[in-house]
Amino acid sequence: MPPSNAQYEFLNERVDQSIEISAAHFNAASSLDNKIANQISTVSLIFTVVSIALAVFGLLLGYYINSTLKKITKIRNDVRKTSEYIDSKNNELFEKLQRSLVKATIDRLNKVPEDIGNLVSNLFAADLLEEDFASLKSATLKAKQLIGRDYLESYISLLLQHFPLLSLRDKELRTIFIENIDNSQINAMHPIDMDNLSKQMLKFIHIESDTTFRSSAVTKILVALKTSRHSEKIRDIQALAISKGIDLDTLIDKKEMKELDSFTKWLNNTL
């Protein structure tokens, strides 16, 4: 039997309700999908922005590190070059400083000759050059004029150590130089200074034309040597003289030889 109108309408209502419920479920699902999609899109955008930001930061950090490393390397190279330059010029700077000190010291002595007691040790230890002789000679001649305490001995010691030949050859200075030499000054000298004195004496003996002064000067130095701790150097001077073909009997003052008739006998008698 076909359905009645009431049943037909009931069925239609049930179908319509089912459709409405399904549509509601679909709309709800679509809305949820849209929300999820929107959230995913937002997260993706944020991730992209963060990634770009990190990439830019990484580039900037890399540039900063690289730039800093270059600066550090440059500074390190500059420091190394400066250190190498200072090392290479160290001796030169030290020598210039020493020369300045020597010149200042001798200039001081020319102004205040009596200050020799405070400054003489500096000059004994220094390497004086020939150009220093004139200034030291000037200070010595000034010290000779001082009355009272004998300042001259220290000046003669300096000249004997540094400039024996120039002192013996200088017309103004040599008489003062020879008259004030004694064994105390010889005793204060070191072996290296005595080697220099021996060589300078041989040069003086070889080039000095005034035989009277030559004999007097050599005799005075040899007599001082005789009673000093360096007395063996007389033998070295003798050997050097012989090697140069110098007549030994003309080396000393005949008054010093007394009854001895040759340099060799005089020499043997002194040692």
What is the chain's pLDDT, residue by residue, as a tens digit (271 residues)? 555 666 666 666 666 666 666 666 556 656 665 677 677 777 777 878 778 887 887 888 788 888 888 888 888 887 787 777 777 767 777 888 889 999 999 999 999 999 998 999 999 989 899 999 999 999 999 999 886 667 899 999 999 999 999 999 999 999 999 999 988 889 988 888 988 888 898 889 888 888 888 888 888 888 888 888 888 888 777 787 778 777 766 666 666 555 455 666 666 665 5
pLDDT at 256: 59
pLDDT at 176: 92
Give Cβ neighbours of residue 58 (< 8 Å, ≥ 6 apart).
none
pTM exceeds 0.85, yes or no: no
pLDDT at 227: 81
Residue type, 149: R
Give Cβ neighbours of residue 118 (< 8 Å, ≥ 6 apart).
none
pLDDT at 79: 79
The span from the CA of 28 to the CA of 95, in Å, is 99
pLDDT at 43: 72
The span from the CA of 145 to the CA of 45, in Å, is 103
CA distance to 121, 163, 166, 242, 248, per residue, from 196 (Å):
19, 9, 13, 18, 20
The span from the CA of 63 to the CA of 43, in Å, is 30
Comparing CA positions, the residue from 223, 214, 220 lying closest to residue 251 is 214
pLDDT at 50: 78
